[in-house]
Amino acid sequence: MSSQFGSLFKIATFGESHGPAVGVILDGCPSGLAITEAEIQADLDRRRPGQNRLTTPRKEADTVRILSGVFEGRATGTPIAMVVENTDQRSHDYGDMQTLYRPSHADFTYDLKYGFRDYRGGGRSSARETIGRVAAGAVARKLLREACGTEIVAYVSQVGEIETGIDPLSVSLDAVEASLVRCPDPEASNRMEAAIDAARKDQDSLGGVIQLAIKRPPPAVGEPVFHRVEAELARAFLSLPATKGFEIGSGFAGTRLRGSAHNDVFVNKNGTIGTETNLSGGVQGGITNGEPILCRVAFKPTATVSQPQRTVDKAGHEAVLNAKGRHDPCVLPRAVVLVETMAALVLADLFLEQRARAGLFPVK
């Protein structure tokens, strides 16, 4: 089972939902970058369970420990190992899932592929695997901010049928964090909150969309054929649990326009070449053009719901599953930082590749 991501800025995540711990080994971080556990913890706190009534009630502090690769507050250039202990498992809640397959979950396909699986909380298919990604992503975010001034902000733009039309480039992290559902539009946020509450009371779940805005991304990164920026972002986002779709720039809506209306006209912006509009989403020919990168990622409703569901057991016998355990009625609020994380990991990797090709000096 491959659990690695990246070429130069590489991560390998480890651990299971109900094992002793989860974590990550990050290799390729430039030496000298200032790194603290507190900076990493800030992003982990946005991902952790039990934040409020709209998330899973599993209580985990998700406290990170840096085990290697950092000395006197700075990266040494050697692998950075980070670990988070699991402290609130209830493995007995998953007894039925040892033999019964949860509809639309990874239970069946894991058995089909490996012939054996950790059924406690889904093992590696659990979203707790993403803890390692968030920890490494916090380092990637710091690298991009210091090297390029890059700002990465995502927010919930849709839950079920409820949407917000707020301008992505006007959104701040503070506005996102002020909302329980991480939607910076107060009116839409209240409606989303009510919808998630209703789904939770009905023992059901909701899906939605996360909007991502990346200001001042590293320019001229990405390759024109297979290693395109949008391709790398799509691969990263669709590796997250529960993701079902990805758009960049105008996305599918752009198919309704003629080329003359869709083209981004080049203009002089105070001595710098830029575009008048940004339907390309900051990427042209697979390479960043310096404009903000705008993406949307679709998440399905949480697969494990508390309603009785028809299924089969390992022998193919029909059965009814009454799923226990603690699960999010909507993954969107906690997934915001995951989208930011994967974007940071992709761009940090591409930035280091471009820096190596251009022969630039290391970031100080």
**328 found inside a domain:** yes
pLDDT band, residue 10 (cuts 50/70/90): very high
Residue 205 lies in a domain: yes
- Which 8-state DSSP code applies to residue 277? S
Q: Apex CA 352: angle with CA 239 and CA 63, to 5°?
A: 55
Reported pTM = 0.92
96, pLDDT greater than 90: no
Compute how many other C-beta atoms are within 10 angstroms of the C-beta atom of residue 320. Answer: 10
Q: What's the domain count of the chain?
A: 1
- Residue 11 belongs to a domain with what CATH number? 3.60.150.10
Model pLDDT for residues 154-209, shown as the tens digit of each residue: 999 999 999 999 999 999 999 999 999 999 999 999 999 999 999 999 999 999 99
Average predicted confidence (pLDDT) for the chain: 91
Answer whether residue 248 is part of any domain. yes
C-alpha distance from residue 222 to each of 4, 38, 238 (Å) = 20, 31, 18
Domain membership flag for residue 99: yes
In a domain, 106, yes or no: yes
Please give the share of the chain, as a percent, with pLDDT higher than 90: 74
330 domain residue, yes or no:
yes
pLDDT at 256 over 80: yes
pLDDT at 57: 67
User: Which of 115-124, 147-156, 261-270 is predicted least confidently?
Assistant: 115-124
Say what the pLDDT of residue 118 is.
79
> Cα angle vertex 126, ends 124, 128, to 5°?
95
Range of 16's domain? 4-358
Residue 121 — pLDDT band, cuts 50, 70, 90? low
Is 12 inside any structural domain? yes
**Is 364 within a domain?**
no
Distance CA 143, CA 35 (A): 10
CA 282, CA 266: separation in Å to the nearest integer? 13
Which strands, in side-by-side order, build the sheet including 243-248?
162-163, 151-159, 208-215, 293-299, 243-248
Q: Rounded to whole angstroms, how far apart are CA atoms 54 and 44?
A: 17
Q: How confident is the model at residue 243 (pLDDT cuts 50, 70, 90)?
A: very high
